[in-house]
Amino acid sequence: MTVTETPLAGAYVIDLAPQRDDRGYFVRTFCVDTFHRHGLVTDYPQANHSRTSHRGVVRGMHFQNPPHAEVKLVRCSRGAILDVFVDLRAGSPTFLRWHAVELSEENFRTAYIPPGFAHGFQTLTADCDVHYMVSKVYAPAAEGRVRYDDPRIGIRLPLPVAFVSPKDAAAVLLTADYRGIEL
């Protein structure tokens, strides 16, 4: 397991190391000791799984407001996605910057997304399974969203958008005076 910080402080890409033989492979997807060595959160009281049937679908950009701001550990176990996260932390030197990483069943990558970030993805293939470990139990009243196509953020997706949920499409654009999430 190799942990690499992204250009957005506190966000990481974790490359897993599958052990292959004639039966297939075995891969450790989480290790408390490795996470501790890198100062990463190790307590995940909730796990989520999404399946997306079509290529080009956008899910997100979602976050939880304090006191329910959460770390997300995201992995794609079937298909491929472009995983995108945006720094919404008030006062951060990378405020409103985004980073994207391809997560797929082939590359065994995981994204570690800290509190104060919005998260979403676009499916690069049909039939994608995405697993999320989250450090806080979902609190509907703390839910927040930003638009994947917000011009203040400028996310560039590789495919035409095939579908966005009505709830995600209804997220408002950031105003010029938006100052971010106070953690």
Cα separation, 109 vs 122, in Å, equals: 16
The tokens describing 125, both together, are 């293939």
Cα separation, 71 vs 132, in Å, equals: 10
Q: How much is the CA Rg of the chain, to the nearest whole Å?
A: 16
Of 12, 68, 112, 132, the catalytic one is 132
Cα separation, 35 vs 57, in Å, equals: 31
**Is-contact 27 106, C-beta < 8 A?**
no
Residue type, 127: D
Of 62, 112, 138, 178, the catalytic one is 62
> Annotated catalytic, 132?
yes
**DSSP E strand boundaries for the chain:** 2-5, 12-15, 19-21, 24-26, 46-52, 57-64, 72-78, 80-87, 98-104, 109-113, 117-123, 128-134, 143-145, 163-164
> Annotated catalytic, 62?
yes
Q: Annotated active-site positions, please? A: 62, 132
